[in-house]
C-alpha cells in the first residue's frame, strides 16, 4: 500500500485520496490526526506557480476563501479549519476544510451515478438533466438564498454560482462551495485575476459580468435564476457550442418562459425566474431575502410528506425510491429534526452461490490485508478510530472483489472494523455491522457457531449502550441459552454473558432479579477463578452494595 502523504506541523493532516483536480490545484479527502475527523484539503499544485506574482495571486485567493468563509459564518458554507499560506514555499499553500458527504447539484440534475461517500463536488459535465419536483427546486433555491443573504450582508458576491458549486449534504442541507473568487465590495481589494479576464462560468454569467461592468449581489441573483430555471425544466436557460454564443444570449436574448417548457410550473415561479434573469440588475428582485419570500409559498410545510422523485439513473435510487439521494426538502418538512434512525435492511436469507476461492491468496492481497490490520491497530491505539475504520473499509472492498463477500478473510476484516467502531463508541455503526455479520455467520457456519454468537454478543452490548436495554437483555439471554446448550454455565463465555445480564437487570431497576443472577454468578466465579480474583471481587463488591445500599453503619 502506498504511503499516505502527510502535511502540516507534525504531519497533522494525512491525505488519503484525490477527489477533485482543477487548473490551480487539487482537493483531497484526508484526516486530521489530532481531532480524528475527515477533512477536505485544497492544495495549490507547485507546477502551476510560474512566478512570484502568480503565487501571490493564489495566496490571496486562498486567504480570501478562508476569511470570507469565516465572516459568513453560516452552516451552508463549508468551514475552513486551517489555512497555510507560506509565500516562501509554493508547495505549502493549502486550506483545510470541512469534508461534506453528499452529492453535487450537477450530478443530481444530470441523474449521473454518484458516490454517497463523496465530499467536495466536481463538475459532472453537460447532459440531459432531470426535472425536479417544484418543492425540491424551491427548497434548493431557498437554501441558496439563505447563504447568499449572509454573504451579501458583508457584502460578498460569490461570482460563480452554478450547480457544480452547490452540494446537497446527506441531511438535505445545501452547501455553497468555492468562495475563493468571491469579491468583497470594497475599493481597496486587489483584483484576483489578470486585467481583462472574466471570472465566472459562461452558462451562468450575468450580463454585467460579461460586460465587465460593476458586479453586485444582484449578479449572484442572476446566476440563481439560471440555476432555478435548470432545476425546474431540466435544461439550462441558454445553450450553445461556444462561450461567445452563450455570452451573446445572456446579453441580448430573452429567456424562454418556464411554462412554455413545463406547463405545470406555477405562474409565480415562472415570474420569479424571469425577474431573476432580467438583463438590467435594477430590474431583478431587491435582494436574496426578497427571492426567499417569493419562494416560500412553494416550500413544503412542517410535517408534510416528501414529494416522489424519480431519477433516470438507477444508481441514484434505493429499491426504486429516492432514498439514496439527499432530500433538500427535509429541512422544511422536519425542521430541527433529530438525527434520523438508521434503516438497516434485513440481511437476505436466500442462499448465495459460493464464489470460488483461490487456493493461494495473491501475495499483494495478503500484504494489503496485513498492512490494513497493522495500520488500523496503530491508529486505534492512538485514538484515531474513524480513520482506523476507513483503512479497514478499503481493505474489505479490495478483498471482497478478489475473494468474494463471504470469504472468511473478508468477514474477519469486517469483524475488526465493527470492533473498531465499538472501541470508538460509535455503537450505532458497530451494531449495524455486527447484526449483518451475525446473519452471515448463522447462514454459512450455523446459528450456534462461535462467530455468530460473538457477533450477537457484541450487538447486544451495542444495543445496551444505545439505550435499547430490553432488546439487549433479550439478545444476551438468547445467546446464553445457545451457549449453555453446548457447554456449561461456568465457561468464560457463559460467565461474561451472565455478568452482562445481571448488570442490565440492575440498570433497568430489576434489583431482586439482578441479585439472583449475580449471586449465582459469584459462586461459580469463586470456583473457576478463585475468591481473590479481580473480577470475582468486583461482583462481590456489587452484591454488597445491592444488599447494603446505605453503606456500612457507624462503628
Catalytic site positions: 160
- The C-alpha cell 481583462 sits at 196
| DSSP secondary structure of 295-340 | HGGGSPPTTPPPPP---SSGGG-BTTBSTTS--TTHHHHSTTPPPP
CA-CA distance, 49 to 171, in Å (whole number)?
A: 38
Paired residues of 13 in beta bridges: 7, 32
The length of the chain in residues reads 555
**Bridging pattern class, strands 80-85 and 93-98:** antiparallel
CA distance 21 to 468: 45
Orientation angle between helical segments 217-233 and 267-276, nearest 10 degrees:
140
Cell of 58: 493564489
Which helix (H) or strand (E) segment holds residue 96: the answer is strand 93-98
Residue 89 dihedral angles phi and psi, to the nearest 5°? -140, 105
SS3 content of the chain, % helix, strand, coil (to 5): 50, 10, 40
Strands 5-7, 13-21: pairing is antiparallel
Amino acid at each position: 500500500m502506498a504511503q499516505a502523504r502527510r502535511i502540516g506541523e507534525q504531519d497533522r493532516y494525512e491525505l488519503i485520496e484525490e477527489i477533485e483536480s482543477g487548473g490551480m490545484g487539487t482537493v483531497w479527502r484526508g484526516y486530521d490526526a489530532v481531532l480524528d475527523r475527515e477533512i477536505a484539503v485544497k492544495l495549490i499544485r507547485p507546477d502551476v506557480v510560474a512566478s512570484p506574482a502568480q503565487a501571490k495571486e493564489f495566496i490571496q485567493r486562498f486567504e480570501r476563501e478562508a476569511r470570507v468563509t469565516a465572516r459568513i459564518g453560516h452552516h451552508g458554507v463549508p468551514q475552513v479549519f486551517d489555512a497555510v499560506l507560506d509565500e516562501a514555499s509554493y508547495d505549502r499553500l493549502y486550506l483545510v476544510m470541512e469534508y461534506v458527504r453528499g452529492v453535487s447539484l450537477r450530478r443530481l440534475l444530470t441523474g449521473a451515478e454518484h458516490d454517497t461517500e463523496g465530499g467536495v463536488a466536481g463538475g459532472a459535465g453537460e447532459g440531459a438533466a432531470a426535472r425536479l419536483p417544484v418543492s425540491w427546486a424551491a427548497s434548493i433555491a431557498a437554501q441558496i438564498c439563505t447563504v447568499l443573504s449572509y454573504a451579501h450582508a458583508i457584502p460578498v458576491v460569490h461570482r460563480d454560482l452554478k450547480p457544480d458549486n452547490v452540494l446537497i449534504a446527506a441531511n438535505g442541507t445545501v452547501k455553497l462551495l468555492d468562495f475563493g473568487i468571491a469579491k468583497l465590495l470594497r475599493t481597496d481589494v486587489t483584483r484576483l485575476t489578470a486585467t481583462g479576464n472574466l471570472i465566472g462560468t459562461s452558462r451562468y454569467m450575468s450580463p454585467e459580468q460579461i460586460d465587465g461592468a460593476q458586479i453586485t449581489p444582484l449578479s449572484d441573483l442572476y446566476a440563481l435564476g439560471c440555476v432555478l430555471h435548470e432545476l425546474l425544466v431540466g435544461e439550462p436557460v441558454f445553450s450553445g457550442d461556444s462561450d461567445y454564443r452563450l455570452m451573446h444570449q445572456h446579453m441580448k436574448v430573452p429567456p424562454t418562459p418556464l411554462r412554455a417548457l413545463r406547463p405545470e410550473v406555477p405562474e409565480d415561479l415562472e415570474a420569479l425566474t424571469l425577474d431573476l434573469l432580467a438583463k438590467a440588475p435594477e430590474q431583478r428582485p431587491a435582494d436574496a431575502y426578497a427571492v426567499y419570500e417569493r419562494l416560500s409559498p412553494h416550500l413544503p410545510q412542517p410535517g408534510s410528506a416528501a414529494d416522489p422523485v424519480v431519477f433516470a439513473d438507477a444508481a441514484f435510487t434505493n429499491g426504486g425510491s429516492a432514498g439514496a439521494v439527499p432530500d433538500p426538502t427535509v429541512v422544511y418538512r422536519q425542521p430541527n429534526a433529530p438525527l434520523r434512525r438508521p434503516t438497516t435492511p434485513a440481511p437476505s436469507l436466500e442462499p448465495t452461490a459460493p464464489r470460488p476461492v483461490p487456493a493461494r491468496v495473491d501475495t499483494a492481497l495478503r500484504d494489503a490485508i496485513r498492512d490494513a490490520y497493522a495500520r488500523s491497530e496503530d491508529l486505534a491505539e492512538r485514538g484515531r478510530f474513524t480513520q482506523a475504520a476507513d483503512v479497514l473499509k478499503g481493505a474489505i472492498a479490495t478483498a471482497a472483489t478478489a475473494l468474494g463477500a463471504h470469504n472468511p478473510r473478508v468477514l474477519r476484516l469486517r469483524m475488526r472494523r465493527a470492533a473498531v467502531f465499538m472501541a470508538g463508541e460509535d455503537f450505532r455503526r458497530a451494531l449495524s455491522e455486527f447484526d449483518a455479520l451475525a446473519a452471515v455467520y448463522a447462514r454459512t457456519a450455523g446459528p450456534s457457531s462461535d462467530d455468530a454468537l460473538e457477533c450477537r454478543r457484541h450487538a447486544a452490548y451495542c444495543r445496551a449502550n444505545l439505550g435499547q436495554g430490553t432488546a439487549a437483555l433479550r439478545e444476551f439471554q438468547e445467546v446464553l441459552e445457545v451457549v449453555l446448550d453446548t457447554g456449561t454455565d461456568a465457561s468464560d463465555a457463559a460467565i461474561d454473558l451472565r455478568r452482562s445480564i445481571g448488570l442490565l437487570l440492575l440498570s433497568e431497576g430489576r434489583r431482586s432479579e439482578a441479585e439472583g443472577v449475580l449471586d449465582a454468578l459469584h459462586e461459580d466465579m469463586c470456583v473457576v477463578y478463585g475468591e481473590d480474583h479481580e473480577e470475582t471481587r468486583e461482583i462481590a463488591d456489587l452484591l454488597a452494595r445491592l444488599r447494603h445500599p446505605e453503606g456500612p453503619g457507624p462503628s
